[in-house]
Amino acid sequence: MNIAVYTRSERYLDCRLLAELEAAAAECGCRLFFGRDYADTVTCSSFPHIYDTLSALPEEVDFIISLGGDGTFLSCVAELRGATVPILGINSGRLGFLSSVDASSLREALGRMVSGDYTIEEHMMLEVDGRFDKEACFPHAFNEFTIKSGVGLMTVSLSIDGLEVADYSADGLIISTPTGSTAYSMSVGGPIVSPECEAFIINPIAPHNLTMRPLIVGASSAMELTVTARGEGATATLDNRSFAAGSGDRFTLRRSPRKASVVKFSDCSFYSTLRRKLMWGTNII
């Protein structure tokens, strides 16, 4: 089995963890591929196989280990640029909702992958068409698309399948996938949606009119946003990638033809992750 290791920060390249990874790979008969950008910084271990970019991985790579936190996982999905190599998230960050396997379980995780004790989940993504360099930014989101004001309120006019829905006067608007329902959308009061559901969550950020509530629409919906910014422009984001936006900008959002493949173990289900990470049902008194 051939595994590419991806990270986006040197702070995750802990020598002890890398030594554990290399030992586990040797035990399981796995070959590790490491990114060229970090090959020179890994001085405590030797990785004989190098890749240049995730979008141009050698064909023999079977899986990717995303080593870091949820931000690293999102960057991994974006840098794959639609390639469907399954990703296993190893959490060396904080919450680790997407990277649900703790670093302390790395050896066990590799053993289970080699023995076939895993499943592959296909997660739907969101495609965005707007005024930005699509080639540079990869116009697909795993978690969400957001439009946020710079200073003061903004107005975002929303239509779905050509039908006018509402003008949102707010600090911004979030369009989330089911996977992203536990991210930014949840933090502003949105519902938690199981990843196998095929839907989008439309959620205003600090709406001026308190009757504006989260809205769930079908995954086949085509959504169009028109921005009127009253202050110093606006910022649009695709997951953890951002770019400038302004008044008059329009964005069309729809279900992406691309999906992200995620490695899952039976004891790391969506619901067990809710219990562990969000402490559902835990009496904290």
Catalytic site residues? 70
Nearest alpha carbon to residue 276 among 130, 96, 129, 132: 96
Q: List the beta bridge partners of residue 121.
A: 262
Length, in residues, of the chain: 285
Tokens of 229: 């910014």
CA separation (Å) from 70 to 59, 67, 94, 98?
A: 26, 9, 8, 5
Query: Per residue, what are the HEC states of the chain?
Result: CEEEEECCCHHHCCHHHHHHHHHHHHHHCCEEEEEHHHHCCCCCCCCCEEECCHHHCCCCCCEEEEEECHHHHHHHHHHHCCCCCCEEEEECCCCCCCCCEEHHHHHHHHHHHHHCCCEEEEEEEEEEECCCCHHHHCCEECCEEEEEECCCCEEEEEEECCEEEEEEEECEEEEECCHHHHCHHHHCCCCCCCCCCCEEEEEEECCCCCCCCCEEEECCCCEEEEEEECCCCEEEEECCEEEEECCCCEEEEEEEEEEEEEEECCCCCHHHHHHHHCCCCCCCC
Phi, psi of 174, rounded to the nearest 5 degrees: -115, 130
